[in-house]
Structure 1
Amino acid sequence: MPSTPVIELCEVSRRYDAAAEGPPALCDASLTVHRGEAVAILGPSGSGKSTLLNLIAGLDRPDTGTVTVDGVRVDRLGEAASARYRRAKIGMIFQFFNLLDDLTVADNVALPAQLAGMYRATAHRRAAELLETLGIDRHARAYPGRLSGGERQRVAVARALINRPPLLLADEPTGALDSASGQDVRGLLSELHADGQTVVLVTHDLALARTCATRTIEVVDGRIAADGINVPAEAVR
């Protein structure tokens, strides 16, 4: 396993309502993810898995503990610095795609690169390359509303990869898809990991975890309850 850590969480806790009884959303979580790993975070609704993902993404701050991603102390960043961090370090894939319906597919993919300061023509060349690689270049001039769910998620993946992030985060990436499209996205994420992309995904989709992840983390009541290496499917046949 590669030795370079991309994610280091140390005793991280987050409580959204200081007056509330019961466990915090996340409690004393420590986690290291190495470059090239694909990690699936599993757990019931309300277990803290999305909180964990949001802390890694810099969308939330811990009450205690430290969050370091690719050498950046994320827990210390202000709002503007957090936005720059996400553009430079993080690619994000969401359950409901979060594409802009009034922009073409190509414009959706190129937008994060332009926001990061890339010239428009350069951003669109990079977008065209990604769309071709992901097999959806024929839809470059279409609008997202005319695409299937699986195609829209491929556009979202291309957008997430446009700035060549060291870390790809996916929040229920197959949750809004039918079974065929879900299988398509599972295959795509597996290919990205095989090419060396570090991936952390939150999912209820056990097939996604088994197919795409080399490691599974279970979160229960805000605590990391289990952390284990996945056995490849072909090894148990």
Structure 2
Amino acid sequence: MTEPVIELHEVSRRYDGGPPALDSVSLRIAAGEAVAILGPSGSGKSTLLNLVAGLDRPSSGTVSVDGVRVDELGEAASARYRRAKVGMVFQFFNLLDDLTVADNVMLPAQLAGMARDQTRQRAADLLGKLGVAQHSRAYPGRLSGGERQRVAVARALMNRPALLLADEPTGALDTASGEDVQQLIKDLHADGQTIVLVTHDLALARACATRTIQLVDGRVAADTAMNRVR
């Protein structure tokens, strides 16, 4: 069997002695899958994403991503892991307003020590592919929400990550911009990118995901293969 990009084994996460945010979750996600994590607020979606990203550690169990035992990493190693293995896209973009679009996109590569000429070329290629090259010298505040999310995706892809994590990527967008980003996610998956998408939006999951995982009270309630809406 092909080795999974993500493997969680009996993962639980408790905070301050309360009920578990995640409770004995085990799952495997293969390379090239587009998986949507669904569930109501408080179901454990964000906790799961944070554990995979190395932003949090499980109380018990193991988390492996692309051959890395993420649950064993210290703070500095976690930062290196995210730069090398994970691209992250957030609901509110998290772009730096005092940097140009191009500089925002180049930042992960600069932190990873990529040569400056390579960094500039990679950023230009991504911005062109994602349809926002004309804004490379602009500042994020001058762009629409959909354009800012495209820039955020370019930044997330800068270091060619094995995994793209998206947390409510259309949640702050109007309908037209949301549909634009939805199509972008579908295109990225068609190009072979492994994607884990956290969302409340079942329509987004149906459009973008090949599989959905439903969380309820920190447990996997359903794990379903999807026929995507075209």
TM-score w.r.t. length of structure 2:
0.98
The CA distance in 1 between the partners of 2:124 and 2:10, in whole Å, is: 42
Cα distance in 2 between the residues matched to 1:66 and 1:93: 24
Secondary structure in structure 2 of the residue aligned to 1:84: helix
Moved more, 8-17 or 203-212: 203-212
1:180 to 172, 176, 182: 176
1:191-222 CA distance string (max 9 Å, x none): 00000000001001212101110000000101
Partner of 1:12: 11
In structure 1, what is the Cα distance between the partners aligned to 2:8 and 2:73?
A: 15
The CA distance in 1 between the partners of 2:199 and 2:35, in whole Å, is 10
Q: What is the alpha-carbon distance in structure 1 between the residues aligned to residue 228 and residue 93 of structure 2?
A: 29
Residue of structure 1 aligned with 2:111, choices 106, 115, 123 = 115
1:146-185 aligned within 5 A? 146-185=142-181
| Alpha-carbon displacement from aligned partner over 1:115-148 (angstroms, at most 9, x marks no partner) | 0011222111100000000010000000000000
Q: What is the distance in 2 between the residues matched to 1:153 and 1:107? A: 15
RMSD: 1.0
Paired AA for residue 67 in structure 2: G
User: In the alignment, which residue of structure 2 is the partner of 1:3?
Assistant: 2
Structure 1 unpaired stretches of 5+: none
Q: Distance in 2 between matches of 1:3 and 1:202?
A: 24
Q: In the alignment, which of 41, 50, 75 is matched to residue 71 of structure 2?
A: 75
Given that residues 34 and 209 in structure 2 are in contact (C-alpha distance below 8 angstroms), is that contact kept between their aligned partners in structure 1?
Answer: yes
Matches within 5 A, 1:58-97: 58-97=54-93
Q: Secondary structure at the match of 2:5?
A: strand
The percentage of counterpart residues that share the same residue type is 76
CA distance in 2, matches of 1:232, 1:7: 22
